[in-house]
């Protein structure tokens, strides 16, 4: 089955700086890669996703990149703000996996004002 590794496990950045989280996956058939943000005591919520036919996708201060050859994808947050402080999870799935998401271990991001 799919295995998703996520790094780093914790990330502390100064407000206004950029944050980058990296994930690798094992199943070459995976073709959908969402990112979820989970604030303390809340549910995970989708913030951005990317499909295997796209190399990069951007939504305001958030961008994701995908390298299918190397089987890794990354989340980039620019101009970080205190409200970006949360745990971020990457995930991967494929049609063969039946829409079953495999999550990375999560990255706890702390944005210091």
Query: Where on the chain is the footprint of another protein (CB under 8 A)?
Result: 31-32, 34, 42-46, 49, 51, 89, 93-95, 97-106
Please, which residue, 80 or 85, has the CB nearer to another protein? 85
N-term to C-term CA, the chain: 41
DSSP classification of residue 12: E
Q: Which is nearer to another protein, 77 or 91 (CB)?
A: 91
Task: Select 20 or 48, whichever has its Cβ closest to another protein.
Answer: 48
Query: What's the min distance (Å) between Cβ of 105 and another protein?
Result: 5
CA–CA distance, 38 with 80 (Å, rounded to integer): 16
The residue among 6 and 80 lying less far from another protein, judged by its C-beta, is 6
Nearest distance, CB of residue 81 and another protein, angstroms: 23
Asked if residues 62 and 75 have their Cβ atoms less than 8 Å apart, the reply is: yes
Report the distance separating Cα 50 and Cα 12, nearest Å.
25
CA distance 34 to 75: 10
**What is the bridge-based pairing of β-strands 107-112 and 10-14?**
parallel
Task: Provide the minimum distance between the beta carbon of 52 and another protein in the complex, in angstroms, as a whole number.
Answer: 10
Beta carbon of residue 21, minimum distance to another protein (angstroms, whole number): 14
């Amino acid at each position: 089955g799919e295995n998703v590794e996520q790094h780093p496990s914790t990330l502390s950045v100064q407000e206004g700086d950029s944050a980058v989280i990296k994930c690798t996956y094992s199943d070459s058939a995976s073709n959908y890669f969402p990112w979820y943000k989970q604030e303390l005591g809340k549910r995970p919520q989708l913030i951005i996703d990317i499909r295997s036919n796209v190399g990069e996708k951007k939504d305001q201060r958030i961008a994701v990149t995908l390298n299918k050859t190397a089987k890794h994808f990354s989340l980039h947050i620019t101009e970080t703000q205190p409200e970006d402080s949360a745990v971020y999870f990457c995930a991967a799935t494929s049609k063969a996996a039946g829409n079953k998401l495999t999550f990375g271990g999560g990255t706890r991001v702390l944005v210091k004002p």
